[in-house]
Amino acid sequence: MERCIACGQPVTPDEEAMTKKLINRGITQYQCIPCLARHFAVTEQALYERMQYFKDMGCMLFPCNQSIESPEPTAPLQQKEASYE
Ligand SMILES: [Zn+2]
């Protein structure tokens, strides 16, 4: 797991994605949300809201969006069966 370059705390994949979105997509040194908030002089709450916004946009930097195979949240389980028709 990556660690925050500012405070040394482990950073989550979400925080890695936020560092990329807010600072530089090619960055390899990450910061946790509290340190990002200090860096940008905003509240942690604001960053979490921004994070949710990016996720809702379907930003592929976030792990939760990388694993989504179908945009349909209620994709029927019988999808495979339907392909036999
Ligand atoms: Zn930190």
Q: How far is the CA of 54 from the centre of ligand 1 (A)?
A: 21
- Whether residue 75 has pLDDT greater than 90: no
Q: What is the DSSP letter of 3?
A: B
- Whether residue 81 has pLDDT greater than 60: no
C-alpha to C-alpha distance for 48 and 31, rounded to whole angstroms: 14
- The pTM of the full predicted model, rounded to 2 decimals, is 0.75
Backbone torsion region of residue 68, taken as left when φ is above 0, otherwise alpha when ψ lies between -120 and 50, otherwise beta: beta
* Amino acid 1: pLDDT: 80
What is the signed CA dihedral for 9, 14, 20, 26, rounded to 10 degrees? 90
Assign 67 a pLDDT band (cuts: 50, 70, 90).
Answer: confident
Q: How far is the CA of 9 from the centre of ligand 1 (A)?
A: 6
Domain ranges within the chain, ordered by starting residue: 1-66
* Amino acid 41: pLDDT: 98
Q: How far is the CA of 41 from the centre of ligand 1 (A)?
A: 14
pLDDT tens-digit profile of 49-61?
999 999 999 999 9
Q: For residue 10, give the 3-state DSSP assignment.
A: strand
